[in-house]
Structure formats: structure tokens, C-alpha cells
């Protein structure tokens, strides 16, 4: 691969030893409403959460991803961008092994989560998926009450006491900025919520498992601008605690919410780096064409 | 006008073929000429009318049957008070003294329906879940035609099997059981309605969107938890509807229960005894030498009406539930 991401180089050199003093976010004046974006330095010094090395992915005989290497820093937002069909969702699903559900798929290379290969035979997929929450493009509330939706994960994890469950539900809904809207109707069906509320419910449901990573596949693409803005605000807040990977088709959104961005094209990782740099000064012509909308 | 639309059509087809098609169409139009044009509305009208008649037959037949049932039943209720019919606990219209309480027949019918549900519901639901969630496509390809064969076995065969095969086994285990007993009827009717429960429930389980499964898996649920906590609850109302339809079928089932359960109207819930269902009674009277037009003969219309109302109500409820299920995942 010609374009080994610059972030990765930084990361490998800084790995863990220098990460202690990078936690406090710097509020930068250019970003409105006191939201914070990681600076390139911070990004470079962040702990590496996930490290992908030479990952190739096959649907039966079709290769969907080719030799991808990427490093995902802790407590940062990483955005995957690229044209439709380039493999963003496929790549995202590799992180929590959701592709295992699809028959005939095959993975080469490795993904290390805090140093452990998630594709090793000893990995417990269930606990992996509890650590890595996922939010889908189309909100997928279960046809159950709001409470039962959010408490689904904790319940199957074996938490039975109503009081504990209630605490988790309240905390998760508060974190996903939905609590105030639904606190009086937790026993109502989740299907009665609006699309934006349903999506935040799904985020709450993922957070209830207390994950450290949140994968989001176009979480706002089916929502109106107001709901989208709420989700984006939410991402800003969540990244203080969670490592977030988001797939988006919306360049403004990627530029707004992410700290690191990766551009994919036809199963290849073309370029990745600090969002500001990638958007203002892309190194590859393809990236520039895509970002500026001259793609074709 | 005809000509223009033809041309428009053919311009959509590309290449030399189009020109040929267009040419042949035009020439056939010219040949048919004015006569065809004047006959055409008549011809179309004839077809319309004939199809309408076909469609009307089903309406007329349904209405006709209901009217006959109602007419004969009303005559019956001139002689027998409706309250006695609905609340009487003895049914012996063919013997003196006559009693016209339908409860024993209703009880027999419900005993067979309930018993067959007890047999068919757990097995049916289990099979449906297995086929939908666990089975390999190959296994499913084997089971599905088998179910179709099972559904195609004539009910008289089931009745016969109940007498020569199921009943002796039951008498072996429970010596007090008669040759004709409700239990053997329950078992064979349960087997008869099994394919219906399985195929309807499986369809409904399959219609639960993949995204729900994915969401549950992504939360760290294992297959069993996904099935039991998400898929089945999501499909529950539809599964219930399939049970209702199957039970309604069991209520209407005639041949197997007539053969297996005997002809003893009895207000009992003991499955080892011989009972009589509404359907079996109708068979008994229709086949016997009861003169038409008598009160005894009219009983079958009253019983038929009661049967019709019972199954119709269950079907309507089931259809209503099923239609709501469809809406939810649109
Ligand atoms: N379940 C599947 N089976 C076979 N091929 C698949 C499957 N899912 C995706 N693919 C193929 O893999 C490639 C990458 O698909 P993927 O869904 O990852 O793209 P994407 O970048 O997420 O696109 P989009 O932006 O439209 O969501 C595509 O060529 C697609 O056809
Ligand atoms: Mg996608």
C-alpha cells in the first residue's frame, strides 16, 4: 500500500507511553457551541484502541476489502467516507464480527483490539459484541417497550434486579439525550417514537451494554436535519467516553464530527489522516475529487 | 389512437426487430378494418360480463348457504326455544324424550379442538422455529415437501388410522378407554393441523426483518436469545393467528372425528370417553333415515349455523391479527 496512513505512523511511534497527557479536550474557537475537536497533536498522541493490519475481506469469491491497515485512536471519532459500495459498511462490520452472520465470508489479516486479535479462535464473540456497540442506518427498535429495548443487553448479560436495570436504562437514555423525552412513557412501545428518537433509542440500547467502542453505520442518513444535528451533538459528547467509528456519506458531517477520517475506494483505503488535514489538504487526487464532489 | 399507441410501444424496442413488429401490426390492423372496430366494444363487454359472472358465483353461493342455514334454523327455533338450545345440557333429538341442548356437542367439539391444539401447538411452533432459525436450507428443502404431503393426506385416512393404530395404543396405556375416544381424535386432528401451523408460523418468523436479528446479535445475544427474546415475540401475534386458524380448522374437521371419537353426545372433558362433535352429529343425521322437513332433520341446520358462526368468528379474528402483522413491517 502506497498510502500508509500518517496517523498510524504517529501512533506507532507514540504508542501508549505518551498518551497520558492527551485526555483533556481543547475547546477550539472555530467550532461552535463549545464542542471540541481533537487537534492533530492530540490525535497523534491518543492511545491506539484498534489496529487493523493488512485486512482483506471476501464475500465468497468477491474481495470487498483489500489489504487495509488503519489505526483507530481511543476516545476519538473516526469517519469512514467513500462512494457507495466501496466497502465502508463491510469494514465496519469486521470490528464486531457481524460479517460472521453472512455465509461464505472470509477474513485475512488481523484486527487488534487493545492488542488482542479479535479473529483469533479464542475470541468470545458475545463478549466482543458487548464491548463494541453498533448503531445501524435504519433504526431497529425491537417491538417491545422502550424500557425493554434499552435493558435488552443488560438482561441477557444476566442482570435481573429491576432497580439495577432501571438505573442502567436511565443512565443510557440520559447519555443518548433521550431521557427527558421518554422518561414518562418507558413502558410504551418503542415503535411509537419518531425516527430520530428511535435512532437515539438504539444508541441508548448500545450504550446500556457499557461498551468502549461505538460503531455507527450512517446513523443519521434517514433523519431530518434537526434530528441529525442532535445525533451529531450526541457524538461530540459521547466521544469523551467512547471510541467512535462512523460511516457517513455526508462530507459536512464527517468534517464536523470526526477527528480522523479514512477515504475508501473500491475496497482500498486510499487515504486516512486527521480530519482537518484530509479535508483541507488531501494528499491524493481521488480524495480531493470525492470531497469536493467532483467524483465520477 | 390504437395505431399511435402501437407505434409508441414499438419505438421503445430497439433495433431492426421493432420495425418488423410495427409493420405487421399496422397491416393486421388494416385487414381487420372497420368491422373489427365496431365489434370490439361488444367483444370486450362480453368478456367483462363473463368474468363478472364467474366472480359473482362465489358471492351467490355464500349468500345462498347462509340464507338456507338461517331459514331452516329460524324454523327450528320456532319449535325449540333458542335459550334451551344454547344452555341445555342434554342432546338427544333422535331419541324419546328429545333434548335439544347443544352444550354436549359444543363440549365435544371444544374437547377435540383443545386437545388437538395441545398436540399441535408445541410441536408446530417448535418445528416452525427450527425451520426458520436453525435448519440448514437443505433440511428445509426436505421438510417442506413432506409437510405438503402430510397436508394432502385425506382426513378419512386419519380417521381410519385413529381407530386401527392410535386407539389401541391409548387403550393399552389407559385400559378404561373405549374403542372410540376423544383422545385418539385429538391426536390425529392435531397431526392434521400441524402443517398449517408450521407453514403459517414459519412464514411469519421469516418475515421478521433481518435488521432486528442483526441488532440483537450486535448487542451480544446468542442465537437462542435472539430467537426467544426478539424473533418470537416480534412474530407472536402472527403465530397466535396461525393457531387460531388451525384450531378453527380442527373445529370444522369432520371425517377423522366422526370415525375416531364415536357418536355419544356427552358433556365431559374426559378424553378417554367417546364423545360427539357438532360435525360428527351432522354426518350422523345426514346419513341416517331421518325424514327431511321434520324437527329432527332441522337440528342439523341449527347445529351447522352454530358451527359456522364459531369458525367464522375465529377466522375473522385470525385474519385481523394477520393483516395487522403485515402492516407493521411495511
Ligand atoms: N451480504 C453481502 N453479500 C455479498 N456481497 C456483499 C454483501 N454486502 C455487501 N456486499 C458487496 O461488498 C461491497 C461493499 O459493500 P458495502 O455494503 O460494504 O459498501 P458501502 O461502502 O457500505 O456502501 P454504501 O455506502 O452504499 O452503504 C459491495 O460491492 C457489495 O456489493
Ligand atoms: Mg453501507
State whether B71 and B124 are in the same domain: no
Any domain includes B24: no
Any domain includes B259: yes
State whether B163 and B125 are in the same domain: yes
Tell me how far apart the alpha carbons of residues B263 and B294 are, in angstroms, rounded to a whole number. Answer: 21
What pLDDT sits at residue B98? 87
Any domain includes B173: yes
Residue environment code for B217-249, b if the CB has 16+ CB neighbours within 10 A, otherwise e: bbbbbeeebbbebbbbbbbebbbbbbbbbbbbb
Indicate the pTM of the whole model: 0.78
Q: What does the pLDDT look like over A153-170, one tens digit per residue?
A: 999 999 999 999 999 999
State whether B123 and B69 are in the same domain: no
Any domain includes B9: no
Chain A interface residues (partner B, CB cutoff 8 A): 96, 98, 101, 126-130, 133-134, 136, 138, 140, 142-144, 152-153, 155-157, 191, 202, 205-206, 209
State whether B44 and B171 are in the same domain: no
State whether B181 and B287 are in the same domain: yes
Q: What does the pLDDT look like over A234-288, one tens digit per residue?
A: 898 898 899 999 999 988 899 989 999 999 999 999 999 999 889 988 899 889 8
A145-159, B24-38, B60-74, B100-114: which has the minimum mean pLDDT? B24-38
Structural class in CATH, domain A35-142+213-291: alpha beta
Choose among A136, A153, A191: nearest Cβ to B220: A153
Residues of B in contact with A126 (CB under 8 A): 220-222
Long-range contacts at B18-27 (CB < 8 A, ≥ 24 apart):
none
Tell me how far apart the alpha carbons of residues B148 and B252 are, in angstroms, rounded to a whole number. Answer: 20
What pLDDT sits at residue A101? 86
* pLDDT higher than 80, residue B301: yes
The confidence band for A23, taking pLDDT boundaries of 50, 70 and 90, is very low
State whether B139 and B279 are in the same domain: yes
C-alpha cell at A23: 485526555
Chain A contact for B215 (CB, 8 A cutoff): yes
Among A80, A87, A137, A263, name the best residue to mutate to test ligand 1's pocket (greatest count of ligand atoms within 8 A of Cβ): A87
Instruction: State the greatest distance between any 2 C-alpha atoms of chain B, in Å, as a whole number.
Output: 88
Residue A204: CA count within 13 A, CB half-sphere: 31
Domain count within chain B: 2
Query: For position B193, which CATH number holds?
Result: 1.10.3720.10
Q: What does the pLDDT look like over B120-165, one tens digit per residue?
A: 999 999 999 999 999 998 999 999 999 999 999 999 999 999 999 9
State whether B52 and B168 are in the same domain: no
Q: Which domain holds residue B98?
A: 84-328
State whether B97 and B68 are in the same domain: no
* Strands A48-59 and A62-73, sheet pairing: antiparallel
Q: Which sequence spans correspond to the domains of chain A?
A: 35-142+213-291
Residue environment code for B67-102, b if the CB has 16+ CB neighbours within 10 A, otherwise e: eebeebbeebbeebeeeebeebeebebeeeeeebbb
A77-86, B3-12, B26-35: which has the minimum mean pLDDT? B3-12
Any domain includes B20: no
Residues of A in contact with B213 (CB under 8 A): 101
Any domain includes B13: no
C-alpha cell at A17: 507511553
What pLDDT sits at residue A17? 36
State whether B178 and B124 are in the same domain: yes
Q: What is the mean pLDDT of residues B70-93?
A: 91
Which of B71, B38, B138 lies closest to B304, judged by CA? B71
Class of residue B23 by CB neighbours under 10 A (exposed 0-12, middle 13-18, buried 19+): exposed
User: Given strand A62-73, what is the order of strands in its sheet?
Assistant: A62-73, A48-59, A105-113, A116-117
State whether B208 and B159 are in the same domain: yes
Any domain includes B15: no
Measured in Å, residue A231 CA sits from the centre of ligand 1 at 24
Window 65-94 of B: residues touching A by CB (8 A cutoff) are none
Q: What does the pLDDT look like over B241-275, one tens digit per residue?
A: 899 999 999 999 999 999 999 888 989 889 999 99
- Please report the DSSP string for A174-230 in residue order: HHTT-HHHHTT-TTSBGGGS-HHHHHHHHHHHHHTT--SEEEEESTTTTS-HHHHHH
Q: Which of the 8 DSSP states describes residue B164?
A: I
Measured in Å, residue A85 CA sits from the centre of ligand 2 at 7
Q: Calculate the CA A275 to chain-centre distance.
A: 15
Question: If phi over 0 gives left and psi between -120 and 50 gives alpha, with beta otherwise, what is residue A263?
Answer: beta
State whether B51 and B180 are in the same domain: no
Question: If phi over 0 gives left and psi between -120 and 50 gives alpha, with beta otherwise, what is residue B50?
Answer: alpha
Any domain includes B44: yes
Q: Is A90 in the pocket of ligand 1 (CB under 6 A)?
A: yes
State whether B225 and B169 are in the same domain: yes
Amino acid at each position: 500500500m502506497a498510502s500508509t496512513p500518517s496517523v498510524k505512523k504517529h501512533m506507532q511511534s507514540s504508542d501508549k507511553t505518551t498518551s497520558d497527557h492527551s485526555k483533556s479536550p481543547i475547546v477550539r474557537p472555530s467550532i461552535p457551541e463549545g464542542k471540541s475537536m481533537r487537534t492533530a497533536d492530540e490525535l497523534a498522541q491518543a492511545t491506539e484502541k484498534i489496529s487493523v493490519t493488512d485486512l482483506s475481506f471476501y464475500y465468497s469469491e468477491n474481495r470487498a476489502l483489500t489489504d487495509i491497515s488503519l489505526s483507530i485512536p481511543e476516545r476519538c471519532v473516526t469517519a469512514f467516507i467513500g462512494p457507495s459500495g466501496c466497502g465502508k459498511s463491510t469494514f465496519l462490520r469486521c470490528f464486531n464480527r457481524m460479517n460472521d452472520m453472512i455465509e461464505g465470508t472470509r477474513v485475512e489479516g488481523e484486527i487488534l483490539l487493545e492488542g488482542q486479535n479479535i479473529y483469533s479462535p479464542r475470541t468470545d464473540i458475545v463478549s466482543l459484541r458487548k464491548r463494541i456497540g453498533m448503531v445501524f442506518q435504519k433504526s431497529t427498535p425491537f417491538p417491545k417497550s422502550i424500557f425493554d429495548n434499552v435493558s435488552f443487553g443488560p438482561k441477557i448479560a444476566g442482570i435481573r434486579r429491576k432497580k439495577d436495570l432501571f438505573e442502567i436504562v436511565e443512565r443510557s437514555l440520559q447519555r443518548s439525550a433521550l431521557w427527558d423525552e421518554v422518561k414518562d412513557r418507558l413502558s410504551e412501545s418503542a415503535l411509537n417514537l419518531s425516527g430520530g428518537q428511535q435512532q437515539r433509542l438504539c444508541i441508548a440500547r448500545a450504550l446500556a451494554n457499557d461498551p468502549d467502542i461505538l460503531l455507527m453505520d450512517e446513523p443519521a442518513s434517514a433523519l431530518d436535519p434537526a434530528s441529525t444535528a442532535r445525533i451529531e451533538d450526541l457524538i461530540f459528547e459521547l466521544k469523551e467516553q467512547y471510541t467512535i467509528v462512523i460511516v457517513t456519506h455526508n462530507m459536512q458531517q464527517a468534517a464536523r464530527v470526526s477527528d480522523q477520517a479514512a477515504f475508501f475506494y473500491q475496497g482500498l483505503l486510499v487515504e486516512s489522516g486527521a480530519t482537518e488535514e484530509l479535508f483541507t489538504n488531501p494528499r491524493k487526487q481521488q480524495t480531493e475529487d470525492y470531497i469536493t464532489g467532483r467524483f465520477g | 389512437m390504437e395505431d399511435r399507441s402501437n407505434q409508441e410501444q414499438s419505438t421503445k424496442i430497439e433495433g431492426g426487430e421493432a420495425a418488423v413488429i410495427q409493420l405487421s401490426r399496422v397491416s393486421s390492423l388494416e385487414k381487420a378494418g372497420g368491422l373489427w372496430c365496431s365489434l370490439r366494444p361488444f367483444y370486450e363487454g362480453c368478456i367483462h360480463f363473463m368474468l363478472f359472472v364467474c366472480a359473482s358465483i362465489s358471492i351467490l353461493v355464500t349468500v345462498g348457504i347462509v340464507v338456507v342455514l338461517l331459514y331452516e334454523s329460524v324454523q327450528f327455533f320456532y319449535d325449540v326455544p333458542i335459550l334451551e338450545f344454547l344452555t341445555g345440557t342434554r342432546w338427544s333429538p333422535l331419541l324419546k324424550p328429545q333434548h335439544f341442548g347443544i352444550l354436549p356437542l359444543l363440549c365435544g367439539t371444544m374437547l377435540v379442538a383443545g386437545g388437538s391444539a395441545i398436540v399441535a401447538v408445541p410441536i408446530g411452533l417448535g418445528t416452525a422455529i427450527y425451520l426458520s432459525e436453525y435448519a440448514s436450507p437443505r433440511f428445509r428443502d426436505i421438510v417442506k415437501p413432506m409437510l405438503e404431503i402430510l397436508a394432502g393426506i385425506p382426513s378419512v385416512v386419519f380417521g381410519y388410522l385413529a381407530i386401527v393404530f392410535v386407539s389401541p395404543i391409548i387403550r393399552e396405556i389407559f385400559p378404561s378407554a373405549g374403542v372410540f375416544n376423544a383422545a385418539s381424535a385429538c391426536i390425529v386432528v392435531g397431526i392434521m393441523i400441524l402443517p398449517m401451523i408450521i407453514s403459517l408460523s414459519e412464514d411469519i418468523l421469516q418475515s421478521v426483518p433481518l435488521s432486528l436479528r442483526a441488532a440483537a446479535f450486535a448487542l451480544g445475544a446468542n442465537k437462542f436469545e435472539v430467537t426467544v427474546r426478539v424473533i418470537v415475540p416480534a412474530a407472536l401475534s402472527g403465530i397466535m393467528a396461525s393457531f387460531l386458524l388451525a384450531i378453527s380448522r380442527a373445529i370444522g374437521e369432520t371425517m377423522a372425528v366422526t370415525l375416531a371419537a364415536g357418536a355419544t353426545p356427552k358433556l365431559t372433558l374426559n378424553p378417554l370417553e367417546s364423545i360427539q362433535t357438532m360435525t360428527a352429529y351432522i354426518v350422523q343425521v345426514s346419513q341416517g333415515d331421518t325424514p327431511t322437513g321434520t324437527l329432527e332433520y332441522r337440528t342439523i341446520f341449527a347445529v351447522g349455523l352454530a358451527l359456522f358462526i364459531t369458525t367464522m368468528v375465529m377466522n375473522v379474528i385470525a385474519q385481523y391479527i394477520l393483516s395487522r402483522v403485515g402492516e407493521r413491517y411495511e
